[in-house]
Amino acid sequence: MPTTKRRALILISSGRQLPLAEPADIKSISTGFFLVEMAQVLKEFENDYEFTFATPDGNAPQLDINGMALSVQSIEKTGAKTIPLRMQQRRRSFDVNSFRQRHPELVARREQDVQLLERHIGRIPVSELLPNSEPELAEYRPELIRRLDKLPEGTFHSLQELVLRHRDPADPFTFADFDFIHTPGGHAPMVDFRDNPWLGETLHVARENGVIISLICHAPVAVTSTRQRIDAQGHPYLVSDNPFLAATISTVPTIGELFALRFLYPRVPGKRTRTSYFVDTAVKEAGFKLATSLNIAAPLLAYEPSVRLLTGNGPQAIDQQAAKLRSVLTGTRAARRASGKQLSEQPLPSTLPITQWATR
């Protein structure tokens, strides 16, 4: 007999160019999302879940080739592996095949993730190599693109589309059918997740319908968007009493970003490199508390049950975050089944004066 799978929403940034504040002569660098921060969730839930994929604007997301580095595949050991593996690639004797043979478990993890991408996502673009990208990736990128080019394009819904369908009584779509939303990081969320009213509306509607929200790495910048919602006329307005402010947020810390901008792929060689803002600063300025740890390379999760918000600080946390998401779902599904009804939705406010609209 056929079984009906449960449903989850995978929300991915469609940002492709990361603005830079410095150096002045380079306005942006190619960017995208980190597959490793999504693939483990797909693996954990693919047997009993059907995934719906969305981006803020409905455009296909871009895969960040730098997130495919073998050091990133080491998850909890990423902090310890990154510099040693980069140094191995700088040796004059560096050979791609020998390098891969030295790290078979990392190659296997990456291959697993790509197969998940092939099964669930389809053809998407891959970010450009940067001057400071790892040499192994220069060999891997063409291989990956050849594989992805053989796939059909997937469907990515826009947040506006999903919200309007949810509001339409004649449309069977409802956020209440989703058990969870998961959103991977990479730098791309810095482009379209900050102070985005349609994202804010999505997160509030998900909260009102009992959906667990999982954000990792740079994706927790999305909480800044919960300061805004969209009224019945499609206009953004400021939220006067934001329940998400109860949450403590785990995300990539400024010190981690500065390390990456100094030594890793975002760095423009020979020049001081700075992004236009730091995620943890933006989250703090939006009124949220930050989860902190003395060891920034260690996994750090934060969960706030009142708004069902789970956040993690980077690829090192993804395995723990997927497991935590499973455990939270087990309890939440039991509670929803016991209630026998959906959570009531908040009425849509009427249009507010333009002076009250949120601006940046």
What is the tens place of the pLDDT at every residue in 287-328? 999 999 999 999 999 999 999 999 999 999 999 999 999 999
- Predicted local confidence at residue 360, as pLDDT: 29
Any domain includes 30? yes
Report which of 318, 356, 47, 60 is spatially closest to residue 182, judged by C-alpha positions. Answer: 318
Domain with 303 in it: what CATH number? 3.40.50.880
Total domain count, the chain: 1
Answer whether 115's CB lies under 8 Å from 79's CB.
no
Residue 331: what pLDDT? 83
**Quick one: which of 337, 291, 335 has its CA closest to 314?**
291
Residue 168 falls within a domain, yes or no? yes
Would you say residue 146 lies in a domain? Answer: no
Q: Does residue 347 belong to any structural domain of this protein?
A: no
Q: Are strands 178-183 and 6-11 parallel, antiparallel or unpaired?
A: parallel
pTM over 0.85: yes
User: Using CA atoms, how far apart are residues 66 and 344, in angstroms rounded to an integer?
Assistant: 43
Q: What is the 3-state secondary structure (H, E, C) of 105-172?
A: HHHHHHHHHHHHHHHHCCECCECCCCCCCCHHHHHHHHHHHHHHHCCCECCCEEHHHHHHHHHCCCCC
Establish if 145 belongs to a structural domain.
no
Supply the DSSP string of 191-225, one letter for each residue: HHSTT-HHHHHHHHHHHHTT-EEEEETTGGGGGGG
In a domain, 119, yes or no: no
Q: Can you tell me the distance from the alpha carbon of 155 to that of 59, in angstroms, rounded to the nearest whole number? A: 9
List the domain range (segments joined by +) for residue 204.
6-60+160-340+352-356
DSSP string, 33-55: B-THHHHHHHHHHTTTEEEEEEE
Intervals of the chain under pLDDT 70: 1-3, 333-337, 339-360
**Residue 26: inside a domain:** yes
Among 67, 9, 5, 10, CA closest to 33: 67
pLDDT at 352: 38
Domain assignment present for residue 277? The answer is yes
* Pair type for strands 17-22 and 274-275: antiparallel
Residue 335: CA count within 13 A, CB half-sphere: 14
